[in-house]
Copies of this chain bind each other. A is one copy, B any other.
Amino acid sequence: MAVRHQGYETPTRGDSLAEQVYRQLSNALLSGAFAPRERINIRRLAEEIGVSVTPVRESVLRLIADGVLQTNEKNAIFVPELAEAEIQEIFAIRRFLEGDLAEAAARHLTAEDTEFLATTQNEFLAAMAQEDYREVLRCNSLFHFRIYERADLPVHLRIVESLWLRIGPTLHHMYPILQRDRTGHQSHENIIDQVRKRDPQALRAAIVTDLDFSEGALRQYLEQVVQQPRRRPVSKVR
């Protein structure tokens, strides 16, 4: 998937090749195209995407800096596995930051947003019924960030995005293994209700409850798959 060839124009940072590659990798991570422990190869990614290694390297290094990817003592780049302790940290921070975001967003959310959330939630459920977990994750992400974007808190938002990226790879491999009924909880519906009412505190609480569910599920999953020997998956971007 070639994006653009060398130097037709000098793009502004927002649509530089590096930025495009970063978004592509982010989406791939969020939808589970990379598995925990999987090794990342800069040259291979560059070839798949159709750019030189420079913008890919940029993006990968940024992900490493954010803890989304990791390097070992021999400089090999790979997708880290989530440790129990990290989950605890990440969710503690998410409860606070996403709580703040939801609370701040409450004032600015419109009927259009409610509409969008309801539609997205239907798509979420449909995808879940079809066991299309890639789509499930995409809908879940769209749902939450639609709210968070309305908060106008860019510092919060950026941090939360990076925390989502950390969880993405594990999350994707979680769904097929967990029992279905766990996913039937009503927390998104509850969130939509509170968005309708525009009650900041209640919306915050609804988000936090949803996060509690997620954390519980993630924990349950990790207990279930305690250190399974893992084959090396080779995955394409996208």
This chain's copy number in the assembly: 2
**Interface 1/0s, chain A 1-36, versus B by CB < 8 A?**
000000000101100001000000000000000000
List, sorted by A's number, 18 A–B pairs whose CB atoms are closer than 8 Å.
A10-B75, A12-B71, A12-B74, A12-B75, A13-B64, A18-B61, A61-B61, A61-B62, A65-B65, A67-B154, A67-B155, A86-B154, A89-B155, A92-B100, A93-B97, A93-B155, A93-B159, A155-B163
Dominant secondary structure at the A interface: helix
Give the residue of B62, B71, B153 whose beta carbon is less than 8 angstroms from that of A65: B62
Set of chain B residues within 8 Å of A65, measured between Cβ atoms? 62, 65-66
The digit string for A92-108, where 1 denotes a CB below 8 A from any CB of B, is 11001100100000000
Chain B residue numbers with a CB within 8 Å of A231 are none
Smallest beta-carbon distance A157→chain B, Å: 10
Residues of chain B within 8 A of A64, CB atoms compared = 13
Kindly state whether residue A73 has any CB partner on chain B within 8 Å: yes
Interfacial residues, chain A to chain B (CB-CB below 8 A) = 10, 12-13, 18, 58, 61-62, 64-67, 71, 73-75, 86, 89-90, 92-93, 96-97, 100, 153-156, 158-159, 163
CB distance from A223 to the nearest CB of B (A): 21
Min Cβ gap A68→B in Å is: 11
Docked pose: A95 CA to B155 CA in angstroms? 14
- Cross-chain contact of A93 among B73, B74, B89, B156 (Cβ < 8 A): B156
A71 touches B13 (CB 8 A): yes
Q: Given known contacts A58-B61, A96-B96, A100-B92, is B158 in contact with A67 (CB within 8 Å)?
A: yes
CA distance A97 to B156 in the complex (A): 12
**A97 CA / B93 CA spacing, docked (Å):** 8
Q: How far is the CB of A87 from chain B (nearest CB, A)?
A: 10
**A71: which B residues are within 8 A, CB to CB?**
12-13
**A53 CB, min distance to chain B CBs, angstroms:** 11
Q: Which residue of B lies closest to A74 (CB)?
A: B12
